[in-house]
Structures are given as structure tokens and as C-alpha cells.
Structure 1
Amino acid sequence: MTNNSNNYFSSDFKLGILGGGQLGKMLLYETRKFDIHTKVLEASKEAPCRIACDEFVLGSLMDFDAVYNFGKQVDVLTIEIENINLDALEKLEEEGIKVYPPTKALRTIQNKATQKLFYTDNNVPTADFSRFAYASEIEDAIENGGLELPFVWKAAQFGYDGQGVKVVRSIDDLKELPVGECIAEKMIPFKHELAVIVVRSVSGEVVTYPVVEMEFHPEANQVEYVICPARIDKIVAQKATEIALKVSEEIGHVGILAVEMFQTQEDEILVNEVAPRPHNSGHYSIEASYTNQFEQHIRAILDLPLGKTDSKVAGIMVNLVGADGYTGEVVYENIAEIMAMDGVTPHIYGKKQTRPFRKMGHVTIVDEDIDEARRVAQKVKETIKVISK
């Protein structure tokens, strides 16, 4: 543990954040609480982070010079999105800038094919998969019997929020796929999708949050509900936590690592994928936990003692995504109605324009009783609509 003479609070210390979206905005709630000076790099001047940081810099996260020059102006650099120019991060690390999570961990995670190979190399249970340099090779693999339908297609890079993932049930489904590097993953008939958030500090202190359960939207491939605690057997929860800890240790991240998993019909745990940053599956923690995931990420990357991860109450998170058929200036219809319900807190991300399935916010529902929270969550989901003017 470093001694806390490292004065981060009300000082000249500068924390750099690569990415200006809602995850960055929620990180900034915590840096403002602690009075830590922040500087954000983001390509869009409309980004949710622009109002909450001390300094806002316009620039592309994929541009070497933009990332390198930005990194030279801060003391510690962190991310809120994985799609970043890693060569610039590597050069900054070589020159003594602290980058968390380390570039080595990001290289493993940024490309989904590399990430999957990492699991097989490290004996981490994961669904069987094939790797393709070009999507056009998939059809040959099906015809030669090397690949069976249905399967899950994933772009190797730059997928997010259900983009870059598609269930392929027939040859026709291959037509719309982007051409580049990808993986074809065996479809797992799972009981539950679970996630465990692991937090690791610079000096190696590690804590985990309770296992959460995710209910997905069948078409959009986006999470509809995150339920904490997961409604699963204790033995399954323990197994999920142990596997998440193994992944965290092998990857060697610093900060938050969200490990998404499948619980199979036989109660095996298979790792689906990971995210090395605050994550949708941890948003419930703002209202429900002793220490929320964003504060925890800041503590970890600054090597401060990690906080308590237990929940104070049961928490359910509902994503607010743009309604199908609406594009333009956003309107949150019936928001007062949901705020009239007990234990309901909306979070609005600050994106002025809505489009179908765009993540616009989330709502947390807390209650002593998980079943009651789930019932209210359903009501919230049915009541609020994200539409346009």
C-alpha cells in the first residue's frame, strides 16, 4: 500500500480519462466528491462528460498523437471505453505515465479473438469457438462441416452494446455481416447470464461484488435488467466468483474488470467476455452498495484502500434505451410516474439525440425484497418511454 502522502485531493494531481460517455460521467460524480482534478479526451463535443470534468479535450481516441499528447499532460490515465490507440498508451507507459488498466491487459481484451484464445491458453472455461480472418470464410466452414448452425457471430473488434454480435441461424444471416476478422461461437443453452465485478488495486488488493444476473432483450441483444443478488444457488455463485478471480489474476488488470458468464443447464460456468472498466452490470451499485463501482475504480487506480462491496439492499437496474421508431431530440415520457414509485431513481446520461436502442440512461430500483424490486422494475420498464419530439 502506498502511503497516502500521494495527495490526490484538492491538489495539482491530474487524472486523465480516455472517453467522454456516460461511464466517464458517472466516474466524474466520484472525482468531484473527492475533489480530484480531471481531464477528459473525447471526439464528440456533445459528450456526457463535457460538463462534469475540469478540462475537456476534443480528439479521437484511435489517433496516436491525440492520445499520446493528452497522456503527457496527466499523472494517471484511465479509460471508460476499450477502443483506444494502444500504441500511444504503450509509449506513455514506457515514458513513466501510469496507465490503468495496463496496456498489456487491454491488448488481450480489445480483440475478441485474442480474448477467447487467452481463455483457452489459461484453462478458463469458455464456449467453443472458431476464429476467422474474414467473414467470407464462414460459409466454407459451414459447408465443409467444420461449423454448425446456429452459432453466435462476433466482430473481433469495436463491438459494443449489442453491436458486433449476431445469432446466425441460416446461411442467409451471413449476408449482412461485416467483412473483417471475427469469431463464430457455439450457442450455449444457458440457464442464466451472470456477471461478477472484480476490483484490483495497483498494489494488488482484490475485492469482488456479489454475482448479478442479467436478463436480455431477445432482439436487441442488450441487457434489460440487472438483478443483484443473482437468484442462483450459493455453490453456483461461489464458482462464478472463483472463475472471475482467476480471469482477473491472469489478465493482470488494475481497476474494475466485469466478467460476463453463462450458467449452463448443468450448472457449469463459462466465461463469455470481459470489460476492463466500470460496466452496465454494476450500475445498480450507485444506489444499492456500500461502495459503488465508480468510486471503487478510482480507489483502485489511485492505490487507495478498496471499499466494502456488499449491498445494503437488493438492487435492480433497467436500461433506458431509445424506443424503436424514434430518432431525434429526446423526450422521457412518463418519467414523473416512475419517480412516484418507491425506491426508483432515474439516471439520465445527457445524450440530447435518441435513436432506436441507443443507451440513454438507466433506472435503479431498490427494495429490501428482491421480488418486490423485480415487480417494480417491470412496471418501470412498461411505463417510461424514450421517444423523440
Structure 2
Amino acid sequence: MSGILSTLANCLPSREKPYCGGPSVRIGVLGGGQLGRMMIQDAIDLDARVEVMDPSADAPCAHLTQRFVQGNLLDAKAVEAFGTGLDCITIEIEGVSVPGLEALERKGVRVVPKPAHIALIQDKGLQKQFFQKHNIATAPFALQMANGDRSALGYPVVQKLRRGGYDGKGVAVLKDASSSHFEGKDAHCVLEKKIDIEKELSVVVCRRSAYDTKCYEPTECVFDPRGNVVQLIVSPASITPEQKATCNALAKQVVDAMDYIGILAVEMFLEKGTGKIMVNELAPRAHNSGHHTIEQCATSQFGQLLRVVLDLPLGDVSPTRAKAAAMVNILGSPSVAKGSKPLYRGLREALGKPGVYPHLYGKSTVSPFRKMGHITMVGDDRDEVVELAKEVLASVACEAAP
């Protein structure tokens, strides 16, 4: 019996481990964009030192972090050198060197998420095979080269590059056999049956252990069809209690099957007509669909990620600060010249409205559909919050400065 109790005790998260804070707690982040920037803001409250590596000298985190290293995130030796001596390291972008993180893990650095899980999620084909293996509902699919036979699933069909796609890049809808967005490219792709989508949903789930896992409320995601980039996020999603339970169950099924540690965004489709909910893709980091948690929830997604990284108990995910929230992305204008200096129009008027919270990312240049910031609206009435979000969306723009 004592052996069983000892084994169980080793599986449970420590309740007595002290937390010191201060300069002795060194967290590394691969990627210096807006996600790292918002994580730093939460790290201040935990008195944790955040150090950042990014290829761009003027990354949004560069002037906020206590140590900034300019380097290639896909260079294993550079990643290993950056992370050596840190207590823990996490990511804010998928495009990182897994071998570099594995080397750090061997040196005793706590890596969140695990390198093997990052490797799986970096490849959309491996994601789909994982869903299939673990009976996780997902759209029918096939794996092939970009210029291979695309007729197996019928038309229309969605073609995705297996690696490297994000924010609408690397995805195309093929209407017939004559079209391929990636024609002639020596690239591995996923073909998916095109789902008749009623709603696009997302669940941000955080897992510290099998005994400490929490899901935020499912959110509803509205995309800008011109750039296939998220335009509007609404919490809670307008779905039935049964559908909400299904979303959360799917998210938990994913992290449990993977034995995942960290924060994970599980993107889902609600199929029109059938009401079936299926998993689309995963993101192994804080996510656009969770930004509203800063203002709406007791613990934000960034605070939650820090708790996992530091092996601290997860916080409350309840929407204790507001019953409803909506978030709009401030995207670069479609007509803006790439590399222009940004100018934010309509921001002053938006900030004059109650319940409006701006977040500008500090990016030095703007490009079409580039995420330059976001604005969150909160309130007690979901419909009123959504209407306010639509007003803000129509009035705020990021253009080129004269």
C-alpha cells in the first residue's frame, strides 16, 4: 500500500513548493511579438524575470524585456545558447527549433509545452493523424504533395500547407480539379473536405497536470474573408449548453490524449445542418481567441500560461469581471503599402466609449491585414457588447502615416 501511495504522491502537483520570485526566477520566451508582450505584463505581477529571443531587433518585446537576444528561432544552437541557464522556457510562436528545445530539456530547463508536442503541432498532417488515432472528431482529410491528385475528397476542398501557415497564409479553397493555390510547389499538404460551417469556435485550455486542467468559455470567431484573419471574437459563444459541453470535452480530450502541459487553443467548426462539432487545428501557445480573458476573466490566458511555466496552481477562469466580452483585431488596411509607419484612425473616438480597452502591440511597421493591436469591449449584455464591437470595428483602422 505504501508503494501505491508513494507513486500517487509523485503524480500529484506539489502543494508545498515555495515560490521566491525576483531575479532568481528566469523565464525565456521564444518569439518577441504581441503574445510575449502581454505575457511580460502578467509576469510583472509575479515578480518574474522574462528574457526574449526574436529575429527582429525592433520586436514588440524588445524594449520591455529584461534581456533581449536577436537570433534565429529555428537555429538549434542559437536556441540552446539563449536558453542555457534559464529556469524555464516557453514559446509565443510555433516556428521554433525543436532540437534546440530538446537540448535545453536535457540540461534541466523546464520546457513548456514539451518539444514533442510542439513538433506534432508544427505539422498539420501530424495533427490530423493524431485526431484520427484518438477518435477526436475532425473533417475528413488526405495527405499529399501540393501538385498531387486532389479528387479523393471531392470538391470543393481545402488545401493547407502542412508546415508554416498562419493567419490565413498557406490555406486555399479549391473549387475544382483545375485549381491549386500551391501548384508546382514541392510542398507537403493536407486536403480537407470543405465543411459547411455555421460557426467557428475556439476553446483555450490550460493544463498543468492531469489534476489541474481548466477550460475557458468557448468563444465565437468571425473572420475577415479578404485576409482569412480573425476579425471579431465573442465570449461567450452563441451556442447551446450541450454544444458548450461538447467543445470543452473535445478540448480536454485533446490535452489528455497528448498528456499536454501548457496552454493550447483548440479551434473548432460547428457544422451547419448536422450540429456536429469537430476540431480544426491546434495552437500550442496563448491565442488571439483568448485575448478577451485579460478584461473578462479572473485569470487571463497569459497569467495562466505563466502559472504552468512556473508550476503554480492554475487560476480561476470564470468570467467574474464581465458577463460578456468581444474583441476586435486592429488589422493593417488592405491598401496600405507593406513596411509603412502605422497611423491609427478612430482610436480616440473608440476610447470615449464605456467598457473599451485598447492594446496596441508596438509594431514599427504595418502591412495589409497585419495584426497591429486589439480592442476589447466588456459588459453585462452580450448583444450590446457585440453591437459596440461592430461600431469599433467599423471606425478603427491602421493606415500608413503620412
The TM tier, using the shorter chain, reads over 0.9
Secondary structure of the equivalent of 1:89? Answer: helix
Match of 2:218 in 1: 211
Deviations 1:10-34 (CA, angstroms, capped at 9, x unpaired): 1412111111110000000011122
- d(CA) in 1 for partners of 2:178, 2:334: 24
Work out whether residues 202 and 303 of structure 1, in 8 Å CA contact, stay in contact via their aligned partners in 2.
no
Q: Could you tell me how far 1:204 is from its partner in structure 2?
A: 4.2
SS at match of 2:348: helix
1:59 is aligned to 2:71 = yes
- How many residues get paired? 383
Letter in 2 for 1:174: S
Q: Is the 8 A contact 2:90 2:113 kept in 1?
A: yes
Contact 1:226–1:317 (CA<8 Å) still a contact in 2?
yes
Q: What residue in structure 1 maps to residue 39 of structure 2?
A: 27
SS at match of 2:318: coil
Q: Which residue of 2 aligns with 1:161?
A: 167
The within-5 A match list for 1:306-385 is 306-311=314-319, 312-313=321-322, 314-327=324-337, 328-385=340-397
Q: Give 5+ residue unaligned stretches, structure 1.
A: none
Instruction: Show the counterpart of 1:296.
Output: 304
Are residues 1:258 and 2:280 paired? no
- SS of 1:249's partner is helix
Measure, in 2, the Cα distance between the counterparts of 1:29 and 1:47.
16
Aligned CA distance change for structure 1 residues 5 and 236 (closer, same or farther; 3 Å):
closer
User: Following TM superposition, by how much is the alpha carbon of 1:9 offset from its aligned partner in structure 2, in angstroms?
Assistant: 1.1
What is the CA distance between 1:250 and its match in structure 2? 1.1
Q: How does 1:74-89 map to 2 (within 5 A)?
A: 74-89=86-101
Q: Distance in 1 between matches of 2:351 and 2:178?
A: 45
Distance 1:8 1:78 in 2: 20
Indicate if the aligned counterparts of 1:331 and 1:386 stay in contact, CA closer than 8 A: yes
* 1:97 paired to 2:103: no
Partner SS for 1:207: strand
Alignment CA distance shift 1:122-1:378 (3 Å) = same
Identity %: 37
Matches within 5 A, 1:217-236: 217-236=224-243
Question: Quick check: 108-117 or 160-169, which moved more?
Answer: 160-169
CA contact (8 A) 2:150 2:191 kept: no
Which residue is equivalent to 1:239?
246
Structure 2 equivalent of residue 148 of structure 1: 154
1:117 to 123, 129, 149: 129
CA distance in 2, matches of 1:103, 1:235: 34
**Structure 2 letter corresponding to 1:283:** H
Listed one character per residue, the Cα deviations across residues 82-134 of structure 1 (whole Å, up to 9, x for unaligned) are 111101111221232211101121122110001110000111010001101x2
User: Which of these residues, 184, 200, 208, is aligned with residue 193 of structure 1?
Assistant: 200
Q: Once the 2 structures are TM-superposed, how far is the Cα of residue 6 of structure 1 from its aligned partner? A: 4.2
> What SS is found at the alignment partner of 1:67?
helix
Unaligned 5+ residue runs, structure 2?
1-12
Distance in 2, matches of 1:374 and 1:164, equals 30
Deviation at 1:380, TM superposition (A): 0.2
Mapped partners of 1:330, 1:30: distance in 2: 26
The secondary structure found in structure 1 opposite 2:45 is helix
For 1:141 and 1:153, how far apart are their aligned partners in 2? 9
Describe the shift of the 1:141–1:118 C-alpha distance in structure 2 as closer, same or farther (beyond 3 A): same
Using the TM superposition, give the Cα deviation of residue 8 of structure 1 relative to its aligned residue in structure 2, in angstroms.
Answer: 4.4
Deviation at 1:166, TM superposition (A): 1.4
Does the 8 Å contact 1:255/1:298 carry over to 2? no
| Separation of aligned partners in 2, 1:198 and 1:369 | 25
Residue 273 of structure 1 corresponds to 281
Query: Which residue identity lines up with residue 337 of structure 1 in the other structure?
Result: E
Shift of 1:176: 4.8
Return the offset for 1:219: 2.4
* Structure 1 segments (4+ residues) deviating >6 Å: none
The RMSD of aligned alpha carbons is 1.4
Q: Return the alpha-carbon distance in structure 2 between the equivalents of residues 173 and 29 of structure 1.
A: 46
Question: Bigger shift: 216-225 or 201-210?
Answer: 201-210
Q: Structure 1 CA distance, aligned partners of 2:118 and 2:351?
A: 39
1:241 maps to a residue whose letter is: N
C-alpha distance in structure 2 between counterparts of 1:172 and 1:301, whole Å: 48
